Structure 1
Amino acid sequence: MNKYTPFSAVFKQVLTPEDIQTLIGKTKGYEDTGNKMTVGLLLDYFVQACYQKWNGFRESTRLGPSYGLPKVHYSTLSGKAGEVPYEIFKRMFQLLVKKCNRQTRRHLNLPKDLLLIDSTTITAANSRMSWAPYKKFRAGLKLHVAVSHGQRSPVNVEESIARRNDAPFGEVLADPDYILVQDRAYGKISRLDQYVLHGQSFVIRLKDNLHLVKPRKLHRPAEGDTTIVRDITCYIGQGKCQSAHRHRVVEFKNDRGEVVRVVTDLRNESAHVIAEIYKARWQIEVFFRWIKQHLNVPCLFGTTENAVYSQLFVALAVYVVLRRVYDEIHPNVPVFVQLTFWEFMQHWRIFSLPLEWQVQFSLFRNKGILEIISIP
């Protein structure tokens, strides 16, 4: 590999100009009529702004030419960002997820991968996003994200204003090919019964005030795990809100000694495994923290829905490609030069990857990125 290969060049090999034109053509009511300022150029600017952590349209247009981007005025870039429907960038993200999909190692030898679902809130001053009122002086929006535990990368994302309840998005993001792992905001009783009927596996934390009716202890061989408090089947809730089916409930102590209560449809797994599955949910919190710290997510450039959501979906797309490249190369690098995901990104950003990484990167690119990445 040429050590000066920029991330943007790899990104363009995965998401080609032909892909972009196809996605634009599928967007009703929009035609990319710009001669110089096109959707493709807007994407290039967003990718570089995310990857290089630029802090706005002004800085992007000032620094862009240094990274091979055509010179444009910041008002032109801002106007284009507000004009282009953000659904185009959302579809770009979804296409990249399909292209970067890969076989994953099963967690705890389970038959299905875990799908970790949660949301993160991004806020700004009311004056910047009046269309998304949140608190007294703040506006806000949410990204509802489903992260594959095996791939350590998002596989589906829905957007909303911050005042929207998380619970309905749990159903939207559900996927029977995975085991859902969710926090208590998603633990609606009627939804648990629906999951059982539809064959959707799940491990979901229950609210502390829910009643457990007619509990029956499950007799399982002891595993020597003292964190397990109780393993039962029961009805959940009372009166009209009571579940129609008996559900398995496992109670265990977390690292702080607090009792956590989760409900699951997994009957053949031990209580220890159920507890470990729920603890894996922490990975999505790490993901949220990572993109906010390293991909410029809290620094919103625009003020319109199109500009804001477009920037966020591009940031998620950048993460997907970065993670795919890292996971492809990392296992083949000697132990003494291994890098964390963050270190890999930092070294690549300033063209200082160790020689061993450059060699593996060359092999990766010589195979043909699009031959390694699955094409839907």
Structure 2
Amino acid sequence: MHKHTTLPNLMQKIVSDEDLQSITEAVGYHDTSRTFTVRTLVDFFLLAALHEWKSFRHGADVAKMYGLPTFHYSTVSKKAKEVPYEVMKRLFALVVSKCNRQTRRSLRFPKALRIVDSTTVTVGKNRLTWAPYHGERSGVKMHVAYSPEQQMPSDIVETVGLRHDGPVGERLTDVQTVLVEDRAYFKIERLDRFVEQKQPFVIRMKDNVEIHQKKSLKRLSSSSSSIVADFTCQLGTKQCRSKKRHRVVIFQDANGHEIRVVTNVLEASAEKIAEMYQERWTVEVFFRWIKQYLNVPTLFGNNEHAVYNQLFAAFIAYVLLRWLYHRTEKRTTSSLTFLSFVRRFFSGQLPLEWKSEMAAVLFEYARIYGRSMPNFG
């Protein structure tokens, strides 16, 4: 199994040529190239993320080694600018949909969690003139809805770096899940609206929020519990106060700092609410991982399409790696962490059992969906 071609080939099996054509047609893009197609651009950016290519020129120089056709770096640069990034964004959504159907994980909580947060990618001020940030930097934000059960992003909204998280978070809600968010998304009017919309949430409160008509909830005391208080109340000052009563849970984190979260989840214990919020740290780990291992901070292009095409492709690469890891892990007796799997996969040092089971997973997927699997084995 060639480590250089595994994920591009897997991508081709998960997203057929018919799928890709439907997406490009829906976006209104007509691919006239016969050599460097949209499919080739997708493969280029997948490989660039996985193998940490430094630029379009670097990718063009090593392309042949990775199974790509020979091309000049200006060809891929032009293609990246030309293809609407909505194509790559829809490809990401399709890959997530197909991979999540294949990766079911047991829930630790009564409902699945949906953690919403953002990460910023910055470069020099003159690189992205359409995306000014702070000082001598320009940058873009990727606002992510992350599933800790699937250990995958489930939805992404792209904006310039100066866009505030709160309003964008409105586009990442889902009433079928418990929304878990940090203080940047806290707004009293929003909490009242979530109650009316029956959107479950666990959101960290800002430190200066006033509490009105506090009423403690009955609970079993435990000396080992991190819970400091559990009560219902109205939030805010007289000039801006919540119309609804909300549940507030105060707990101590591992460093002894008090954290106040507000929620409309009433059937769970205060300890479980604290656990839900603490799952928010998994998205921080995810952001660090993609920046460290998927070349995300190295932006190749300068225009909007080139930048977002590259970033969405990096997220696709992550989802494919996670899918491959989860599916293979279920079939093996030896244990590997996800990070160890990725490192060994790309260094050619996977245990024989993992190689064998990974090949079986890929061929099984091909058989079920009636796809051929060239370049494997």
TM-score band, normalised by the shorter chain? over 0.9
2:286 is aligned with 1:303: no
Moved more, 161-170 or 358-367: 358-367
Deviation of 1:359 (Å): 2.0
The aligned counterpart of 1:24 is 24
Distance 2:366 2:141 in 1: 32
C-alpha offsets along residues 45-92 of structure 1, whole Å, 9 cap, x if unaligned?
A: 111111111111011000111111101101111111111110110000
Distance 2:137 2:98 in 1: 37
| Residues 364-375 of structure 1 mapped to structure 2, 5 A cutoff | 364-369=361-366, 371=368
Distance 1:261 1:227 in 2: 12
Distance 2:225 2:369 in 1: 45
C-alpha offsets along residues 74-130 of structure 1, whole Å, 9 cap, x if unaligned?
A: 11111111111101100000111111113644443x221111110001100011101
Aligned-residue Cα RMSD (Å) equals: 1.8
Alignment check: 8 A CA contact 1:14 1:370 kept: no
Aligned residues: 369
The normalised TM-score by structure 1 is 0.94
Secondary structure in 1 matching 2:288: helix
- 1:136 to 1:361, Cα distance in 2 relative to 1, 3 A: same
Deviation of 1:369 (Å): 4.7
- 1:366 to 1:44, Cα distance in 2 relative to 1, 3 A: closer
Counterpart of 1:40, as a letter, is: R
2:277 is aligned with 1:275: no
The aligned counterpart of 1:347 is 344
Counterpart of 1:358, as a letter, is: K
The aligned counterpart of 1:179 is 178
2:231 is aligned with 1:229: no
The aligned counterpart of 1:361 is 358
| Structure 1: runs of 5+ lacking an equivalent | none
| Residues 253-292 of structure 1 mapped to structure 2, 5 A cutoff | 253-292=252-291
Alignment check: 8 A CA contact 1:122 1:141 kept: yes
- 1:122 to 1:279, Cα distance in 2 relative to 1, 3 A: same
Deviation of 1:346 (Å): 2.1
| Residues 80-229 of structure 1 mapped to structure 2, 5 A cutoff | 80-102=79-101, 104-108=104-108, 110-229=109-228
| Structure 2: runs of 5+ lacking an equivalent | 371-377
Deviation of 1:370 (Å): 7.5
The normalised TM-score by structure 2 is 0.94
The aligned counterpart of 1:6 is 6
Distance 1:139 1:3 in 2: 35
Moved more, 115-124 or 226-235: 226-235
Distance 1:152 1:250 in 2: 26
Distance 1:13 1:231 in 2: 50
- 1:214 to 1:100, Cα distance in 2 relative to 1, 3 A: same
Counterpart of 1:126, as a letter, is: K
- 1:372 to 1:167, Cα distance in 2 relative to 1, 3 A: farther
Counterpart of 1:24, as a letter, is: T
- 1:372 to 1:228, Cα distance in 2 relative to 1, 3 A: farther
C-alpha offsets along residues 326-376 of structure 1, whole Å, 9 cap, x if unaligned?
A: 1111132123xx222122122222333211102211321232257489xxx
- Percent identity, please: 44
- 1:231 to 1:297, Cα distance in 2 relative to 1, 3 A: same
Alignment check: 8 A CA contact 2:3 2:346 kept: no
Alignment check: 8 A CA contact 1:7 1:349 kept: no
Secondary structure in 2 matching 1:239: coil
Counterpart of 2:228, as a letter, is: V
Counterpart of 2:348, as a letter, is: F
Alignment check: 8 A CA contact 2:5 2:66 kept: no
Deviation of 1:4 (Å): 8.1
Alignment check: 8 A CA contact 2:165 2:184 kept: yes
Distance 1:7 1:349 in 2: 11
- 1:252 to 1:302, Cα distance in 2 relative to 1, 3 A: same
Counterpart of 1:211, as a letter, is: E
Distance 1:368 1:89 in 2: 23
Secondary structure in 1 matching 2:301: coil
